[in-house]
Amino acid sequence: MSTRSNIGYINDEGKIRAAYCHYDGYVAYNGRVLLEHYTDAAKVKELVELGDMSILAPKVHPTPDSGHSFENNEDGVTIFYGRDRGENNVAPVTHDVISDWIGDKDSWVEYYYLFLPELGTWMVYSVHNKRWKQVTEELIKQEA
């Protein structure tokens, strides 16, 4: 079973660029990976711009000549549907406003992660409690 999420950032035009992530979207995994490995705006953009993901991992790019693919993935490397599986129609999506992004009731997405570049922080929105919270606060609460 998967816990679906969306990972996004606010671009230079003030719009949200986001990509889908199929597995481990809960804060204890995706939230922690984003907080520990994706705190630089350029790296966040690089992650999202590669499009929809199967699973998020600490690294965006595999080691050269590693043979990384969807079926033969390198440990610790994010698996993308386009780059690693050759799928089409998996590009990131641009949303004008947050309500458009989180408003799709048919998406099955449970968690929305938004990187705020001016603050260098991650926020998370859960469809269960319908509130935005800082990922750091959610992790501290879960570990208490």
Provide the number of structural domains found in the chain.
1
- Beta pairing partners, 94: 17
Q: What is the pTM of this model?
A: 0.94
DSSP designation for 70: S
Other Cβ atoms within 10 Å of 54 Cβ, number:
20
Residue 137: CB atoms within 10 A of its CB come to 12
Per-residue pLDDT of the chain (144 residues; tens, 9 = 90+): 689 999 999 999 999 999 999 999 999 999 999 999 999 999 999 999 999 999 999 999 999 989 888 998 999 999 999 999 999 999 999 999 999 999 776 678 999 999 998 888 999 999 998 999 999 888 888 876
Distance CA 94, CA 10 (A): 10
pLDDT value for 125: 96
Note the pLDDT of residue 6.
97
Domain that holds residue 133: 5-143
